């Protein structure tokens, strides 16, 4: 039996009727139309579906939509401001951290969550933050470089 769920995604309110077994990833893609988060494995192993919920990187394929009622959800579509890419998105482009692009949304979201909690991570902290995100093209070095460049350019406070 479907239940009405109110979600706030990228600052916008949504009200959707969902079956209790539907995942957040399914609702984001099929009901709301935000297809940036990808389903790679459906088992929580690849990280392609990573979103940020209440500031924490979360696997949307393992999260039931009913459990995020009333929580702030941010997807890769919420990183850019209008047509202007975020600093992190620009860094991925500049450093060649995007190859096939399938892992990119999840990598961006994991990196965004990291930088919001720790604006000056070291390389080990960066690697740990993206360790749940698999890159099929093995572009990890460039991904770490991109994240590192953003961290290095954040004003030290």
Question: Which domains are present in the chain?
Answer: 3-77 (3.10.20.30), 87-153 (1.10.150.120)
- Per-residue confidence band for 156, with pLDDT thresholds at 50, 70 and 90: low
Q: What are phi and psi of 3, to 5 degrees?
A: -125, 145
Do 147 and 115 touch, CB atoms closer than 8 A? yes
Q: Mean per-residue pLDDT for 47-71?
A: 97
Q: What are the pLDDT digits (tens) for 127-145?
A: 999 999 999 998 899 999 9
For the ranges 53-57, 96-100, 104-108, which has the lowest average pLDDT?
96-100
Residue 61 in this model has a pLDDT that exceeds 80: yes
Alpha-helical regions (H) of the chain: 24-26, 87-94, 104-117, 123-129, 140-153
Q: Mean per-residue pLDDT for 113-139?
A: 96
Supply the pTM of this predicted model.
0.95
What dihedral angle (degrees, nearest 10) is formed by the CA atoms of 150, 122, 116, 69?
120
DSSP secondary-structure letter at 49?
Answer: T
């Amino acid at each position: 039996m479907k239940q009405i769920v109110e979600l706030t995604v990228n600052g916008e309110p949504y009200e959707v009727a969902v079956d209790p077994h539907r995942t957040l990833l399914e609702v984001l893609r099929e009901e709301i139309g935000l297809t940036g988060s990808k389903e790679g494995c459906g088992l929580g192993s690849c990280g392609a579906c990573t979103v940020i919920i209440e500031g924490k990187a979360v696997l949307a394929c393992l999260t039931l939509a009913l459990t995020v009622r009333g929580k702030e959800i941010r997807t890769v579509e919420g990183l850019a401001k209008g047509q202007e890419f975020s600093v992190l998105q620009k860094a991925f482009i500049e450093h060649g951290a995007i190859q096939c692009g399938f892992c990119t949304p999840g990598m961006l979201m994991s990196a965004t969550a990291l930088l919001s909690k720790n604006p000056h991570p070291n390389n080990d902290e960066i690697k740990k933050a993206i360790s749940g995100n698999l890159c099929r093209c093995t572009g990890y070095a460039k991904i770490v470089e991109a994240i590192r460049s953003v961290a290095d350019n954040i004003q030290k406070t």
